[in-house]
């Protein structure tokens, strides 16, 4: 998967994309490959990706690092809210 740099990536020292609307999507083959992974393989991949990104995530001033993690938290919260809203719609349809 290739990532395009976010406009502020240079300021943040990041090598990955937070601009989800313009992010490259996984191909069907990549999705299938991921689905075939065992839970152990998935966690190993996650840990590898975390280790690779850790230096970039922790670089910069305290304020830059704080802003970076605030953005990640906002994105995670938004994703979680969207999942919960989808579950609520499904529940309404069942009733």
Report pLDDT digits (tens) over 25-37: 678 888 888 889 9
65, 58 in Cβ contact below 8 A? yes
pLDDT score at 40: 94
Q: What are phi and psi of 54, to 5 degrees?
A: -55, -50
Percent of the chain at pLDDT > 70 equals 74
For 58, residues 6+ apart whose C-beta sits below 8 A from its C-beta are 65
Minimal CA–CA distance to 6: which of 81, 55, 63, 56? 56
The pTM of this model reads 0.54
């Amino acid at each position: 998967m290739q990532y395009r740099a976010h406009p502020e990536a240079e300021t943040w020292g990041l090598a990955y994309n937070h601009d989800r609307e313009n992010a490259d999507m996984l191909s069907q083959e990549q999705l299938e490959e991921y689905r075939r992974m065992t839970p152990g393989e998935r966690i190993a991949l996650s840990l590898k990706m975390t280790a690779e990104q850790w230096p970039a995530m922790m670089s910069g001033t305290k304020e830059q690092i704080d802003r970076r993690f605030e953005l990640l938290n906002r994105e995670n919260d938004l994703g979680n809210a969207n999942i919960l809203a989808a579950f609520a719609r499904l529940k309404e349809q069942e009733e």
